[in-house]
Amino acid sequence: MYHWEILLQRQLRYVFDYWYSIDPKAFYQGVGPDTASNFYNDYKSDLKLMREAGIKNLRTSIQWSRLIDDFEEATVNQDAVDFYNNVIDEMLKDGITPYINLCHFDMPIELQKKYGGFESKHVTDLYAKFADRCFELFGDRVKNWFTFNEPKVILDGGYLYKFHYPLKVDGPLAVQVGYNINLASAKAIKKFHERFGKDSENKIGIILNLTPAYPASQEKEDLEAAEFANLWCDDMFLDPAIKGHYPKKLVEILTREGVIWDSTPEELELLKENTIDQLGVNFYQPFRVQAPAISPKSLQDWMPDIYWDNFEMPGRVMNVDKGWEIYPKALYDIAINIRDNYGNIDWFVSENGMGVSREEHFMKDGVIQDDYRINFITNHLKELYKGIQAGSNCHGYFVWTGIDCWSWANAYRNRYGLISNNIHTQVKTLKKSGHWFRKLSDTNTLE
C-alpha cells in the first residue's frame, strides 16, 4: 500500500510521477501513480479492514521525496511528518506492528537528474541523512526498519532491461549502482546503530527478492551458469548485508572482465562494520538457467546475463497471468541456504503472493473466490514449515499484499490483495483469501 494522493500536492518530485508525466503510455493501460488505493485518505478504515483480514504486522514505506523538502540538509515537510505519525499511531492503536521500509524503488527526481540517483556516491550520503531523519522522527514507535526493498530491481529496471526509469542499458554502470546501494545501506545502518545502539530492541535489515538459480542439468556448463546467476542475483546483496563483504568469486569475475566497481578501503571497512540485524525475503518464482548459447567470451557489451540463458522447465506449473513459474520448494531451499551459508540469521518472508488479472470473473455473492491464492499461500507455507523444522531461523510470513495496490509501471494489471479494491469507487472488500487468512492468523495453524 502506497500513499500516492499526497503527491498531487508535491508534483513530480518522485521519479515515477516524473516518468508518467513524460510517457504515460509506458504504464499499463495508462494508469499512473495518481490512481491508487487512496490510503492517504482512507488509512483509518483501511487499517481496520486489514486487521479484519488477520494482518498483525504491516510492512509499508516512508517515501524519501515526500518526507524531505531539502535533500542536502534533510529538512522535513511537516504535512508528511504528520501523515506518517498518524498512520503509525493508528497501526499501533489497531494492534498492527509497523515494519518500515526506507526505499522501495524511490528516488527523488531532483537527485536523479542532478546526480544520476544511486550512480552517485554523494546520493548515498543524502540517503543516510534521510534514513537518520526517519529514525529520529519515528524510532520511538517503529522497532523494525529496512534500508531497501529489492535493490536488484533497481538495477534490472533502471540499468539493464529498461522497465523502470532512467531506462538505461549499461552493465558496468549497473555494477557500480549495485555497489553504491550496498554502501548506502551500510551508511544508514551506521546511523541507526549510532542512534539506538547495537544491542537495542530496535532492529534494522534489508528486503531482498531471492530467486534461487537452478541449473537445467548437472552438466558443467549449466552448473557454471547457475553459479554466476546466484552470485549476481542473490549473493551480490546477501553477502555484503550479512557478511560485510562481497563473494570472492564474484569479485574475481568482475575484476577479470574490467567492470569491477569503484571502491575505497574506507568504504569496504564501512560495509564490514555495518551489517544487518534481520533479513526480509521476497519470493515469488524460481530462476532456471542453462549455459548460454553464445559464449561470454564473444565480442559484446558486458551484461550480467551473458553468462546464462533462461531455461523453461517442461511441465512446470505457471501463474500464466504473471508469467511466473510456481515452485514452492524454492522457499525451503532459501531457508536452508540462509541456515547453512548465512549464519542462520533471523529472517522472515517479507513478500509472497499471487498476482492474478480479471479477478472479477471469480466473484460470487459479492466475494472474490480466490481459492488459487489460498492454495498458493498454503503450498508455500508448507515448504517454509519444513525449513523451520530443519532449523532455519524464520520468524514470520507476510503475504503480498493487504489491499490490491498500484504496482509501478504494471499499475493494476495483476491483483495481489487479500482485500479487493475497486479503483473507480474505492470500495474495498475482503476476498475469500482474506477471511481464510484471518483464521490462519488467529490460530497460527495451517490445516
- Among the listed residues 119, 351, 359, 383, the single catalytic one is 351
Could you tell me which residues come within 8 angstroms of residue 170 by beta carbon, excluding any fewer than 6 positions away? Answer: 159, 160
Q: Helix or strand or coil: residue 35?
A: coil
Distance CA 292, CA 186 (A): 34
Element (H, E) at 52: helix 39-52
Other beta carbons within 10 Å of 302: 15
Contacts of 32-35 with CB under 8 Å at 24 or more apart are: 32/411, 33/2, 33/4, 33/7, 33/406, 34/4, 34/5, 34/7, 34/8, 35/4, 35/406, 35/411, 35/423
150 given a catalytic annotation: yes
Q: Which residue has the cell 549495485?
A: 178
Q: Which three cell numbers stand for residue 430?
A: 475482503
How far from chain centre, in Å, is Cα 51? 22
Catalytic residue among 119, 150, 227, 267: 150
State whether residue 153 is helix, strand or coil.
helix
Residue 351 among the catalytic residues: yes
- Dihedral sign of CA atoms 121, 123, 126, 127 in order: negative
Please give the Cα distance from 97 to 114 (Å, whole number). Answer: 37
Of residues 245, 207, 253, 210, the one with CA closest to residue 230: 210
Cβ-count burial of 257 within 10 angstroms (0-12 exposed, 13-18 middle, 19+ buried)?
middle
The alpha carbon torsion through 315, 318, 323, 324 (nearest 10 deg) reads -100
Query: CA-to-CA distance for 100 and 141, rounded, in angstroms?
Result: 11
Burial of 117 (0-12, 13-18, 19+ CB in 10 A): buried
Q: Which residues are designated catalytic? A: 150, 351
